[in-house]
Amino acid sequence: MVAHDALRQAQIALSHGSGAMPALGFGTLIPDPLATRQATKTALEVGFRHFDCSERYRNEQAVGDAMQEVFRAGTIRRKDVFVTTKLWNNNHRAERVKPAFEASCRRLQVDDVDCYLIHTPFAFKPGDEQDPRDEHGQVIYDTGVTLVETWRALESLVDEGRCRAIGLSNVDLEKLQEIVEAARIKPAVVEVESHPYLPEWELLDYCRRQGIVLLAFAALGHAMEPRLLDDPVITAIAQRLHKTPAQVALAWAVQRGTALLTTSVTPSRIRENFELSTLPEDAMQEIRDGMATKIRFNSVVGTGVPGFIPGGR
């Protein structure tokens, strides 16, 4: 039995915006609403205080129901929980941002959110269709709005006190720099795929210098092949330190200074993923230097269309 330490309670102060983000975050990209509600409730009960949502996940209502159920029990309050949600691609036009934000708040049953992100830098045809396609099945992009214009609309939400911080997701370094340079309110958070097979050191280095939190999604490699949790470097460290491979990968993410998102619908794994303790420096170094595999699993960054690809790309 490994003793716990402060790692699982780690918080990262937001330099742009206010408050602090718990480094250990629970992702709600879970297709089934009932499973979403149960997993969110379990995550709150085991100690997660940071939840990542999106209008695109179409389950904000279930996340909101779970939070309300737990809040009603009285031990956890809304202000104890850091809630992030995201604007989807069909709502990039400035006039669509606030209505989309308010619809998310209604479904999540919160008055405001701690962090609001632009889910991808790709604008799709404005309208109610989240995945607009032409007669050939091709995505219909919107060339009538720029990312900077969408960013300005998010800045207005901060001005109005509706969210404490704003940020981007699925951007590369170049796009991030463009927004940092144009922004009146700088991005507080950048959410991208990152794990030992995709460490994104250059982006992390830039984020550190700019006071931006890198929020790593798919921190366990989304359980896809090639399986990060079966990697010999990770499993050897886990065995040596009497931790599970997931605990090794998650502790590594927190200790190198990122926040992270992990997801599970399995109660025992939700608990396992919260029960982190600090890795010694040599283990951190082994993970940094010892990964033979380099892979990106999610293709959303290239097209704006979400999807994990088996085998990566």
Ligand X SMILES: NC(=O)c1ccc[n+]([C@@H]2O[C@H](COP(=O)([O-])OP(=O)(O)OC[C@H]3O[C@@H](n4cnc5c(N)ncnc54)[C@H](OP(=O)(O)O)[C@@H]3O)[C@@H](O)[C@H]2O)c1
For residue 24, list its beta bridge partners: 260
Instruction: With CB under 6 A as the rule, give the number of residues binding ligand X.
Output: 29
| Whole-angstrom distance, CA of residue 241 vs CA of residue 248 | 9
Does the CA dihedral 43-220-29-224 come out positive or negative?
negative
**Shortest CB 135 distance to ligand X, Å:** 27
Show the binding pattern over residues 136-165: x = contacts ligand X (CB under 6 A), - = does not: ------------------------------
- Of the residues 57, 116, 141, 206, only one is catalytic, namely 57
Which of 94, 145, 185, 223 forms a contact with ligand X (CB under 6 A)? Answer: 223
Show the binding pattern over residues 226-265: x = contacts ligand X (CB under 6 A), - = does not: ---x--------------x-x--------------xxxxx
Show the binding pattern over residues 2-41: x = contacts ligand X (CB under 6 A), - = does not: -------------------------xxx------------
| Annotation says 57 is catalytic | yes
How far the first Cα of the chain sits from its last, in Å, is 38
CA–CA–CA angle 291, 294, 299 (5° rounding): 145
**Shortest CB 107 distance to ligand X, Å:** 15
Which of 90, 169, 194, 255 forms a contact with ligand X (CB under 6 A)? Answer: 169
CB atoms within 10 A of CB 152: 16
Contacts (Cβ under 8 Å, ≥6 apart) of 183: 151, 155
Closer of 255 and 298 to ligand X (Cβ):
298
Which of 24, 218, 254, 287 forms a contact with ligand X (CB under 6 A)? Answer: 218
Using only C-alpha atoms, what is the Rg of the chain? 19
CB atoms within 10 A of CB 1: 4
Helix axes 33-46, 60-73, angle to 10 degrees: 40
Contacts (Cβ under 8 Å, ≥6 apart) of 3: 277
Contacts (Cβ under 8 Å, ≥6 apart) of 128: 90
Question: 186 with 161: CB under 8 angstroms?
Answer: no
Binders of ligand X in range 180-199 (CB under 6 A): 191
Q: Taking CB under 6 A as the rule, does residue 65 contact ligand X?
A: no
Q: Which of 206, 199, 239, 189 lies closest to 50 in space, CA to CA? A: 189
**Shortest CB 30 distance to ligand X, Å:** 7
In the numeric block, the tokens 């604008």 are attached to: 123
**Shortest CB 254 distance to ligand X, Å:** 14
Q: Taking CB under 6 A as the rule, does residue 221 contact ligand X?
A: yes
In the bound state, the residue with its beta carbon closest to ligand X is 27
**Shortest CB 26 distance to ligand X, Å:** 8
Closer of 27 and 312 to ligand X (Cβ):
27
Residues annotated as catalytic (active site), given as ranges: 57
The residues of the shown chain that bind ligand X, judged by CB under 6 A, are 27-29, 52, 119, 169-170, 191, 217-223, 229, 244, 246, 261-266, 269, 272-273, 298, 300
